[in-house]
């Protein structure tokens, strides 16, 4: 390897840069490398634009970078909110959402009896996939013969099970749907009851009433749908049944009424007809 003295190494470097790039400074043994004229003029032009010094431009660049960082941090949550999942919640009184199945004992396999299942359809409409979607049976009213709404005092708000997979939460992929078990009609003795499919079976409460069991009558049930990245959605349905049982699926579907309650504030039209 060839060794150079200090002056020789600087001379060797200057030869490779260009003859005009180096010049003696302060004596023959002292050298410095000049910047090229083109780069020099650009740097000077930027530094002196608007009469600002290089320090001012440095401060402006620092502030601009900080502003861009803050803007990015602020905009990201906004776009996530804007792109949150939009879901719909509806009950269809027709297969496969509502249909008759034969229930069996999970342990023994013995047949328990036929039951009419009613499910809510949770469908994705737009935005990202819904994460940890959950349906809550939030409130229950009994409708008296004169049309008054009375809260059912023995009712307990509980989440409902997702069909076939169980559990209170589920992921709803984009443009797909999931079914949630609202409840099932089942003949108990000589009476048909509607049993809400809550994630746990509550114990009897005051008067030995079971909180998730509805006897024959007319009710309003409020369901609330929510999730990690979706707006909470509330819907209310009117459920009416007379306690009879039919072995035929279509006859059983026809014997119960499940309709969306379009609003609680109602007005009377001429003739006394009520409109939601």
Least-confidence region, from 11-15, 38-42, 83-87, 265-269: 265-269
Ramachandran area for residue 133 (φ above 0: left; ψ -120 to 50: alpha; else beta): beta
Q: What is the mean pLDDT of residues 188-192?
A: 91
Question: In this structure, are residues 43 and 56 in contact, taking their beta carbons and an 8 Å threshold?
Answer: no
Q: What is the pLDDT of residue 1?
A: 47
pLDDT average, residue stretch 210-215 = 95
Confidence category of residue 207, pLDDT binned at 50, 70, 90: confident
Q: What is the pLDDT of residues 4-58, one digit of tens each?
A: 444 444 454 455 444 444 555 444 444 444 444 554 555 555 555 566 677 776 7
């Amino acid at each position: 390897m060839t060794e150079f003295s200090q002056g020789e190494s600087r001379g060797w470097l200057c030869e490779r840069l260009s003859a005009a790039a180096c010049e003696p400074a302060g004596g023959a043994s002292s050298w410095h490398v000049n910047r090229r004229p083109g780069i020099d003029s650009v740097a000077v032009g930027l530094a002196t634009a608007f009469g600002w010094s290089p320090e001012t431009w440095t401060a402006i660049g620092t502030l601009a970078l900080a502003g861009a960082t803050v803007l990015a941090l602020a905009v990201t949550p906004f776009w996530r909110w804007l792109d949150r999942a939009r879901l719909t919640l509806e009950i269809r009184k027709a297969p496969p959402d509502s249909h008759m199945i034969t229930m069996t004992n999970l342990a023994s396999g013995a047949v328990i009896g036929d039951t009419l299942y009613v499910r809510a359809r949770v469908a994705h409409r737009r935005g990202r996939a819904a994460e940890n979607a959950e349906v809550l049976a939030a409130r229950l009213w009994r409708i008296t013969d004169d049309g008054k709404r009375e809260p059912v005092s023995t009712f307990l708000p509980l989440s409902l099970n997702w069909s076939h997979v169980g559990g209170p939460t589920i992921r709803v992929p984009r443009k797909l749907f999931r079914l949630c078990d609202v409840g099932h009609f089942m003949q108990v003795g000589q009476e048909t009851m509607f049993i809400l499919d809550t994630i746990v079976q509550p114990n009897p409460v005051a008067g030995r009433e079971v909180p998730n069991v509805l006897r024959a009558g007319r009710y309003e049930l409020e369901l609330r749908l929510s999730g990690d990245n979706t707006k909470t959605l509330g819907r209310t349905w009117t459920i009416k049944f007379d306690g009879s049982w039919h072995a035929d699926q279509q006859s059983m579907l026809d014997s119960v009424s499940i309709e969306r309650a379009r609003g609680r504030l109602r007005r009377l039209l001429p003739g006394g007809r009520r409109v939601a």
